[in-house]
Amino acid sequence: MADPKVFPLETIRHTRAHLLAQAVQRYIDANVQLGTGPWTDTWFYYDMLFSESVEFGEKQLKELTKSVKQVAKEPQSFVFFECDIDDGYTINKLTNQTFKDELLDKFIAKGETKISYYLNVVPQAVLDNMRNTKDWYIEMYQWVTDFFRWKETITAEQGVVFLDLCAWPHVELTKEDLNAHGMKLNKLAGAYWQADEKNAQMTRIYGLAFEDKEALSSYEAMMEEAKKRDHRTLGQKHELFAFDDEVGPWLPLRLPNGAVIVEELERFAKETEEGYWYKRVRSPHIAKDKLYIRSWHLPYYEEDMFPPMELDNEKYYLKAMNCPHHHKIFGAFPKSYRDLPARYAEYGHCYRYEDSGSLFGLMRVRSLCMNDAHIYCTPEQFEEEFVKVIEMYLYYFKTFGIEKYEMRLSKHNKEWLWKKYVDNEALWIQTEEQVRKALVASGVPFVEAEWEAAFYGPKIDVQIWSAIWREFTLATNQLDFAVPERFNLTYTDQDGEAKTPICIHRAPLSTHERMVWFLIEEYAGAFPVWLSPVQARVIPVAETFNEYGQIVVQKLKEAWIRVEIDDSSDSFSKKIRNGEMMKVPYLLVIGQQEVDNQSVNARNFKSKDQKELALDVFVAQIVDEYKNRVI
């Protein structure tokens, strides 16, 4: 028997997607219209359009899971079949799959003439025994079987029970290769065909597949933890941000608590950048189309920009990137080599018309505030400046407690020059080697990836892993060898000659939106003192101690600590419970003993420590945590 672990998980998940579609077609709706069934790094799914007479919802998922497992117990082998596209239309007609015809149309539009299918093949004896399946399903695949016998793809001893337009490999034999793996269907969602809201809305059935049942259980436990950390839920609970239809979709509103976190992040960035000798600049939120044509954002990036505004016979665009404005700031006055490196930093507000299908909470929005900066330097200064940026990343990682990270050197692909990248192969090779050398010099772990560079140069994508081990791109560090020349940016070198500087684009703290999303989920809403909207809450055990409570509040406010007092009519136990639910770092209980001793009984939310401290001692302690950004 084959070892069930010899196949990579992506192959197993893709195979499961085919078996899911087959189970639906066999046992639920033979006339179901099948879309596509890809896999991801954690699950698989299949998009389907059920017949009007068929009802399918969450209640049917458990039963369908059993059907998929039952199908996998059959000795189904996967047979690859490559054919002319005309044969594809014939196959789609036999199985009544109109969406698949649209995929063939796209292949033809691309100039392709060949396509491939994967056939689920069983011994004819197994096919003959499938009388528990609907007769129309058997009849449909008898026609398919006859077609492939005629094509000499299968023998007379074999029958087809399912097929799908596909080029990806699958396991060899379902009965042997899948029966030890963990699998379940776990949720439904709506999805437009080909991600276009003008098309039919289909049902997307998601499933999980892992090496074994233990790995599946471990993943499900992690997902339960992820639900507890969901930034959308916690953002509402802790009153951090909101969205409003009258404002517009994915244009976040910062509530007072959320604004505190943003202000603290910005203060942290400014202090750090001050230490690296950055100069702060500011730029407008709009500009003429001429600026973005010159910067190549039009046309390279136009689809992600808001539509233009017409004013005084000119077109204006909302700013999608800060860099063109910073180029203009650099070029506003002559520069010599003595002025370099010039480091311009700005928390610039940008607007991007992202596709609605990619928008998600704060992770991906249409209004964003970026921790942006641009460094203009000589070729000789490049490596040192690039390494300093990486040092800044590492400093931030340490401050936030980020332990797992990886730098990804994102490179061009020469086949796509001019289509996606600036057409200068020699400069691409040279600058990618410069970035590689800087990464090696910094000593940080990194990998390399093609196709993912910015259009004007190679970049570093900074990958980090969250508390629930979810990988995502936090920020970037980019080398720009092309755009400064387009803006006629120059400096005078030691010999009096005009030279074009290299530009480094960097954003270590990403955008406020993405960074806050990460921090909410990383800390599960229990922020360290320096980031917490409310750092301490005073809780008198009875109304008679409210006066001393106000003295405690005033003392903390004088030390610039964010503090509030719960002098409501709620019971003492409810006040404590409310403070813990809001995950306030310190609850300061005061009663007669604390009044007599001029102290507070401090409860630490994270450590659960509780001890009486002199008021001055506690103030000094929390100020130290705040100033040193203790996590």
The predicted structure's pLDDT at residue 133: 64
| Domain architecture of the chain: domains with CATH | 9-219 (3.30.980.10), 237-523 (3.30.930.10), 536-627 (3.40.50.800)
The predicted structure's pLDDT at residue 6: 55
Q: Is the pLDDT of residue 158 over 80?
A: yes
The predicted structure's pLDDT at residue 3: 44
Work out the pLDDT band at 2, boundaries 50, 70, 90.
Answer: very low
DSSP 370-398: EEEEEEEE-HHHHHHHHHHHHHHHHHHHH
Q: Report the pLDDT averaged over residues 437-466.
A: 81
Q: Report the pLDDT averaged over residues 344-349.
A: 95
Burial of 609 (0-12, 13-18, 19+ CB in 10 A): exposed
Work out the pLDDT band at 417, boundaries 50, 70, 90.
Answer: low
CB 438 within 8 A of CB 459: no
Choice among 127-141, 167-181, 326-340, 541-555 with the minimum mean pLDDT: 127-141
Q: Per the structure block, which two tokens stand in for 42? A: 């954690």
Q: Is the pLDDT of residue 168 over 90?
A: no
Cα–Cα distances in angstroms (integers) from residue 21 to residues 12, 52, 78, in the given order = 15, 18, 15
Averaged pLDDT score across all residues of the chain? 90
Work out the pLDDT band at 219, boundaries 50, 70, 90.
Answer: confident
The predicted structure's pLDDT at residue 415: 66
Q: Is the pLDDT of residue 5 over 50?
A: no
Q: Is the pLDDT of residue 627 over 50?
A: yes
Cα–Cα distances in angstroms (integers) from residue 300 to residues 215, 456, 503, in the given order = 42, 10, 19
Residues 6 or more apart whose CB falls under 8 angstroms from that of 388 comprise 276
Work out the pLDDT band at 507, boundaries 50, 70, 90.
Answer: very high
Cα–Cα distances in angstroms (integers) from residue 110 to residues 40, 81, 253, 420, 512, in the given order = 25, 21, 43, 18, 40
Give the span between the Cα atoms of 85 and 108, in whole angstroms.
8
Give the span between the Cα atoms of 365 and 363, in whole angstroms.
7
Q: Report the pLDDT averaged over residues 396-418.
A: 81
pLDDT (tens digit per residue) in 60-91? 899 999 999 989 988 899 999 999 999 999 99
The predicted structure's pLDDT at residue 127: 78
The highest-confidence range among 169-178, 426-435, 497-506, by mean pLDDT, is: 497-506
Work out the pLDDT band at 4, boundaries 50, 70, 90.
Answer: very low
Choice among 36-40, 128-132, 143-147, 523-527 with the minimum mean pLDDT: 128-132
Cα–Cα distances in angstroms (integers) from residue 202 to residues 63, 184, 196, in the given order = 20, 20, 11
Work out the pLDDT band at 367, boundaries 50, 70, 90.
Answer: very high
Q: Report the pLDDT averaged over residues 262-288.
A: 96
CB 188 within 8 A of CB 203: yes
Q: Per this entry, what is the length of the chain?
A: 631
pLDDT (tens digit per residue) in 194-213? 888 889 999 999 999 888 88
